[in-house]
C-alpha cells in the first residue's frame, strides 16, 4: 500500500493508494472529506493524480438527486486535470508523468461512430451515468477504509486526489497550459462552445438566443462569438446576468419574469422578426425546450438542448408545427465534440488568445473547502470555481 506521495514506479503502481476524497454519502448532504483507497489500474485504464478540479452544475444535480441513476456513497466530480501516475496493460497513448484531461464522453477511436465525423457518441462505450468502470461492469476502483465500495461518477470521479479512468476517457495535453484553465475544457466550456461551433455550426452574422446564462449558457455565448454571430440574446430570470453575459458576447437580454402576458418565445419572435437562427436551452427544463423551439426561425431554425432535466421528463411539441415549419431540434452531449480531436484544437485557440478561458474562473479554493464552493454555486455567485489539490 502507498500513500498519496507514491512515486509511480513499477512496483508502487501495482498497489492501492491511500488518499483524500470528498465523498457524497447522502443526497443533498455536505460531502464528507475522508481517506479512501484507490486500486491500481486494470488493462486499458490509467490512474491519475488530480491537480485541480472544477465544480459543474451536473455535480449538484446528481448530489441532490434521490432516485436512479443516483446512488450513494459516490465520488462526484468530472471536470479536472491530472498527471498520469500509473498505467494498466495495453495502454499505449500515455505514459507515467503525462498531463491529461479526463472527459465524461468516451472516445475509443475504434468503433464506427468514433471513426465517423458525424457523431461523438461512442458505440463501444455508450454514454450512461454508471456507478462502475466503463469496461468492467460492476467494478469500482474506490473503497473506503472499512472496505465499502464507493461508486464512480460519469467515468471520472475527480473529487479525489487520485482516480482511475478508462483510456477512452482521457486526452493528453501540453503540460505548460495553466491547469486552472485547461481543466475547464474537460466538460463545461467544451460543452457550450462545442454546441455553437460543432453541433449547431453557427454561421457568421446569424442571430442566437440562449436560454439560461449559467456557465454552460455563457460558454455557448463564447462559442457563438467565436463563430461570428451578430446578435446573441440571453434569456434569464436574473437581470444581473446581462452584465456578466456582456463579457461573453451577449448583445441583448430578455428577463423572462417581466414579459407580462406574453410568452418569452413571442417576445423573441418580435425582437428577431420571425425567430432566431439558433436557440440553445441550457437550463434543463422541458418547457424551456418548447419555448426555444417556438422561437427558432421556420425553414432553417435550429434548437439545441444542453440542459439536464429530471429523469423521465418529456418534451411536447405540436405535430403541425413540426411538419409545417421545417425546424430542427437536437440534443448535444459534450457539445458534439470528439474529445481527443477537438480539445487540442480548443486549447490552440486559447493559446492564440481567441478562446477566452480566464473569464470563466471566478473563484479558486482549496479542495478541503469543497462544501463552501458548492454553496457558492448553489447561490449563483460563481461561474466556475476551481479547487486545488494539495
237-289 pLDDT, tens digit each: 999 999 999 999 999 999 999 988 899 999 999 999 999 999 999 999 999 99
Q: Examine residue 220 and say whether the peptide bond preceding it is cis (omega within 30 degrees of 0).
A: no
Per-residue pLDDT, 9: 45
**Per-residue model confidence (pLDDT) at position 241:** 94
CA distance linking residue 372 with residue 365, whole number of Å: 9
CB 25 within 8 A of CB 10: no
Q: Which residues is 363 bridged to in the sheet?
A: 385
Grid coordinates given for 223: 462559442
Strands 207-211, 278-281: pairing is parallel
Instruction: Identify the pLDDT of residue 13.
Output: 55
Beta strands in the chain (DSSP E): 2-3, 17-23, 32-38, 45-54, 79-87, 99-102, 142-144, 149-150, 162-166, 170-172, 207-211, 231-236, 252-255, 278-281, 302-305, 328-331, 361-366, 384-388
Specify the 3-state DSSP secondary structure of 188.
helix
Residues of the chain with pLDDT under 50: 5-12
H or E element in which residue 73 lies: none
Phi, psi of 360, rounded to the nearest 5 degrees = -75, -30
Strand partners, 260: none
Q: What are phi and psi of 110, to 5 degrees?
A: -110, -35
Confidence (pLDDT) at 1: 64
Q: Please tell me the chain's helix, strand, coil percentages from 3-state DSSP, rounded to the nearest 5.
A: 30, 25, 45
Query: 81 near 99, Cβ under 8 Å?
Result: yes
CA–CA distance, 218 with 188 (Å, rounded to integer): 10
Whole-number Å distance between alpha carbons of 279 and 305: 8
User: Looking at residue 311, what is its pLDDT?
Assistant: 78
Nearest partner of 75 among 111, 119, 39, 124, judged by Cα = 39
Model confidence over 26-77: pLDDT tens digits?
999 999 999 999 999 999 999 999 999 999 999 999 999 999 999 999 999 9
**pTM attached to this predicted model:** 0.94
What are 163's strand-pairing partners?
A: 48
**pLDDT at residue 226 in the model:** 98
d(CA 266, CA 262): 6
Q: In what order do the strands lie in the sheet with 328-331?
A: 252-255, 231-236, 207-211, 278-281, 302-305, 328-331
- CB 58, CB 140: distance < 8 Å: no
- Contact of 300 with 279, CB cutoff 8 Å: no
pLDDT of residue 12: 47
The reported pLDDT for the residue numbered 7 is: 40
Amino acid at each position: 500500500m502507498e500513500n498519496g506521495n507514491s512515486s509511480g514506479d513499477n512496483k508502487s503502481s501495482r498497489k492501492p493508494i491511500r488518499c483524500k476524497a470528498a465523498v457524497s454519502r447522502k443526497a443533498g448532504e455536505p460531502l464528507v472529506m475522508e481517506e479512501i483507497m484507490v486500486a491500481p489500474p486494470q488493462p486499458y485504464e490509467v490512474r491519475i493524480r488530480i491537480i485541480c478540479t472544477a465544480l459543474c452544475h451536473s455535480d449538484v444535480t446528481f448530489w441532490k438527486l434521490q432516485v436512479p441513476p443516483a446512488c450513494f456513497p459516490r465520488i462526484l466530480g468530472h471536470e479536472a486535470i491530472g498527471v498520469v501516475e500509473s498505467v494498466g496493460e495495453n495502454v499505449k497513448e500515455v505514459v507515467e508523468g503525462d498531463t491529461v484531461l479526463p472527459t465524461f464522453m468516451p472516445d475509443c477511436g475504434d468503433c464506427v461512430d468514433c471513426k465517423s465525423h458525424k457523431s461523438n457518441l461512442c458505440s463501444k462505450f455508450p454514454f450512461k451515468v454508471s456507478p462502475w468502470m466503463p469496461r468492467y461492469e460492476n467494478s469500482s476502483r474506490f473503497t473506503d477504509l472499512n472496505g465499502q465500495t464507493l461508486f464512480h461518477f460519469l467515468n471520472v470521479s475527480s473529487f479525489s486526489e487520485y482516480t482511475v479512468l478508462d483510456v477512452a476517457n482521457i486526452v493528453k495535453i501540453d503540460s505548460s497550459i495553466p491547469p486552472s484553465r485547461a481543466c475547464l475544457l474537460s466538460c463545461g466550456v467544451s460543452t457550450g462552445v462545442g454546441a455553437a461551433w460543432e453541433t449547431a455550426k453557427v454561421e457568421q452574422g446569424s442571430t442566437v438566443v440562449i436560454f439560461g446564462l449559467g456557465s454552460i449558457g455563457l460558454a455557448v455565448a463564447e462559442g457563438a462569438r467565436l463563430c461570428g454571430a451578430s446578435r446573441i440574446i440571453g434569456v434569464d430570470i436574473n437581470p444581473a446576468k446581462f452584465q456578466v453575459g456582456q463579457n461573453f458576447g451577449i448583445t441583448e437580454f430578455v428577463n423572462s419574469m417581466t414579459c407580462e402576458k406574453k410568452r418569452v418565445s413571442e417576445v423573441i419572435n418580435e425582437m428577431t422578426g420571425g425567430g432566431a437562427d439558433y436557440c440553445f436551452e441550457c437550463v434543463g427544463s422541458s418547457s424551456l425546450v418548447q419555448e426555444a423551439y417556438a422561437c427558432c426561425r421556420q425553414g432553417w431554425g435550429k434548437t439545441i438542448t444542453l440542459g439536464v432535466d429530471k429523469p423521465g421528463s418529456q418534451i411536447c411539441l405540436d405535430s403541425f408545427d413540426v411538419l409545417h415549419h421545417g425546424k430542427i431540434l437536437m440534443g448535444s452531449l459534450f457539445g458534439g465534440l470528439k474529445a481527443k480531436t477537438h480539445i487540442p484544437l480548443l486549447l490552440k485557440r486559447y493559446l492564440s488568445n481567441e478562446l477566452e478561458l480566464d473569464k470563466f474562473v471566478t473563484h479558486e479554493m482549496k479542495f478541503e473547502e469543497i462544501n463552501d464552493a458548492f454553496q457558492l454555486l448553489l447561490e449563483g455567485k460563481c461561474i466556475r470555481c476551481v479547487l486545488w489539490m494539495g
